[in-house]
Amino acid sequence: MNPLIFSGVAIGLLFGFALQRGRFCMNSAFRDVLLMRDFTLLKAVGVALLVELVGFEIMALTGVISLAPKPLMWGANIVGGVLFGVGMVIAGGCASGITYRVGEGMVGAMSAVLGFLFAGLMSVMGVLKPVVGYLQTTTKVMTADDKSLTLANIFGLPHSVMAFGIAAVAIIIWVAWALTHKSDEDEFGDKPRSLAERIFKRGWGWLATGIVIGLIGIIAFPVSAATGRNYPLGITMGHVSIAQTLVTGENKLSWESMLIIGVILGAAIAALIAGEFKLRAPTPGILLQTFAGGLLMGFGAVASGGCNIGHILSGVPQLSIGSIVGGLSIILGAWTAAYLMFVVPEKRASAGQ
Amino acid sequence: MSEHQPTKTLDVRGEICPYPDVNSMTTLKQMAKGEILEILVDYPLSVERIPRSAKKSGHRVLAVDHLDGPNHRILVEAHGLR
């Protein structure tokens, strides 16, 4: 085992801390747009992607990293992504969300992680492995010189031109939006008295959260690459590799496994400092529900070749078409499930009155 | 601690995302104007999001009190949408 993989624990501690403080969960980010017309977390995701888009590209141009966009496997990306998206709404959290909430003491998240591990193992080495293999191999599309398709190479543009171009357009739209829309953010309760209180005791705002998560993603890339794993943050294979090692006795631990351990510890530390740690469980029915959601997520993430972190946080800023298709499928699945689970019953209840 | 007398109490401690929010907003919608809902919640994201969504829906947030640990008590006066 490469001793460098333990750097994953350090990055994980930072990542877990930031996830807990920023309440950064893509399940909430996507679902709440539909459910509560709340864009707070979605804005945090957008900022993180923008920071990474620029950061990855600068590191690639200066030779610090070589980009590693995931390949397009459209069938696997779509089927896996949609199932993952449905699963995360049922489980009450995305892959990173259920992981950091284990550190907050949420038993519902723990049962979701168990489901995620179980289905993840079945998909990597068990009965679902042929299904995953079939989906991935039959729908894989590469460039003529066997490279992963990206938003840059499908238009025949240099990667940096596309990346900086998208970043520039995004910033212009953001500034225009900020100038024409009044901020409607309120803080309830007492005002924080110091910077330390703001960092350690209060939930972070979307801008701070997005910037910090983006910067952690940038640092993660070269640090992980130094261990032979040339990719930024990821969650799915970290979980699965730990379970695989425990079940088979064969050492499959990687940088990503260490990242998971760090995330859980980092979130626990953040929650303890803020006084937000508490072992708490929902009703038995909801516990079963989160386990079932975890199962869907485990298969979906392995089939799709990435979860909301591998595809959206780490893949989209590398302009991978596979990650964009996978990410959009996750959002589609999440919206479908949220509509059926929350919007339809609500409408029915209102109509019945 | 706020002095308002709640009409109804909703305990969503232990519930997973987004049930604290969804249950709170559904209950508020069914309450008459001026009635006060007390929400007991321990999920950090919902502690921040419920007051935001309640205000956006026209209800009046009276208080967000920190109890112990992650436990919070949110008091909202219903707008009376019915």
A200-244 tens-digit pLDDT: 888 899 999 999 999 999 999 999 999 999 999 999 999 999 999
A236-260 tens-digit pLDDT: 999 999 999 999 999 999 999 999 9
Concatenated DSSP letters of A150-175: BTTGGGT--HHHHHHHHHHHHHHHHH
pLDDT for the residue numbered A308: 96
Q: Which of A42, A278, A287, A348 to mutate to test the interface with B (most CBs of B within 10 A)?
A: A278
Note if B43 is an active site residue: no
Query: Tokens 């508490």 identify what position?
Result: A278
Q: What is the mean pLDDT of chain A?
A: 94
A139-159 tens-digit pLDDT: 999 999 999 999 999 999 999
Mean pLDDT in residue range A70-89: 98
Contacts of B73 in chain A (CB under 8 A): none
In this structure, which amino acid lies at residue B78?
A
pLDDT for the residue numbered B32: 93
Mean pLDDT in residue range A18-46: 92
B22-81 tens-digit pLDDT: 999 999 988 999 999 999 999 999 999 999 999 988 999 999 999 998 999 999 999 886
Answer whether A352 touches B (CB < 8 Å).
no
- The minimum CA-CA distance between B28 and chain A, rounded to whole Å, is 12
pLDDT for the residue numbered A2: 87
pLDDT for the residue numbered B17: 85
Centre a 10 Å sphere on the Cβ of residue A66 and count the other Cβ atoms it contains: 10
Considering only CB atoms, which residues of chain B are within 8 Å of chain A?
13-19, 21-22, 25-26, 29-30, 42-45, 48-49, 51-53, 55-56, 61, 64-66, 69-71, 82
pTM greater than 0.90 (yes/no): yes
Q: Which of A188, A204, A209 to mutate to test the interface with B (most CBs of B within 10 A)?
A: A188
A88-133 tens-digit pLDDT: 999 999 999 999 999 999 999 999 999 999 999 999 999 999 999 9
pLDDT for the residue numbered A1: 78
pLDDT for the residue numbered A184: 62
Residue whose C-alpha is closest to residue A134's, from A70, A68, A80, A69: A80
Instruction: Assess whether pLDDT exceeds 60 at residue B82.
Output: no
Contact B69 A275 (CB under 8 A): yes
- The minimum CA-CA distance between A207 and chain B, rounded to whole Å, is 16
Beta strand pairing call for B72-77 and B36-41? antiparallel
Answer whether A75 touches B (CB < 8 Å).
no
Percent of chain A with pLDDT over 70: 97
pLDDT for the residue numbered A185: 64
Q: Which of B15, B17, B62 to mutate to test the interface with A (most CBs of A within 10 A)?
A: B17
- For residue B36, the 8-state DSSP code is E
pLDDT for the residue numbered A347: 84
Q: What does the buried/exposed string (b/e) look like for A336-351 if buried means 16 or more CB atoms within 10 Å of the residue's CB?
A: ebbeebbeeeeeeeee
CATH superfamily to which B8-77 belongs: TusA-like domain (3.30.110.40)
Q: What does the buried/exposed string (b/e) look like for A168-201 if buried means 16 or more CB atoms within 10 Å of the residue's CB?
A: eebeeeeeeeeeeeeeeeeeebeeeeeeeebbbe
Going by pLDDT thresholds of 50, 70 and 90, the confidence category of residue A194 is: confident
ipTM over 0.90: no
- The minimum CA-CA distance between A248 and chain B, rounded to whole Å, is 32
Going by pLDDT thresholds of 50, 70 and 90, the confidence category of residue A38 is: confident
pLDDT for the residue numbered A182: 75
* CB < 8 Å & 24+ apart, contacts of A154-163: A154/A321, A159/A57, A159/A60, A159/A67, A159/A319, A160/A57, A160/A60, A160/A61, A162/A319, A163/A53, A163/A54, A163/A56, A163/A57, A163/A317, A163/A319
Contacts of B62 in chain A (CB under 8 A): none
Catalytic residue among B2, B9, B17, B48: B17
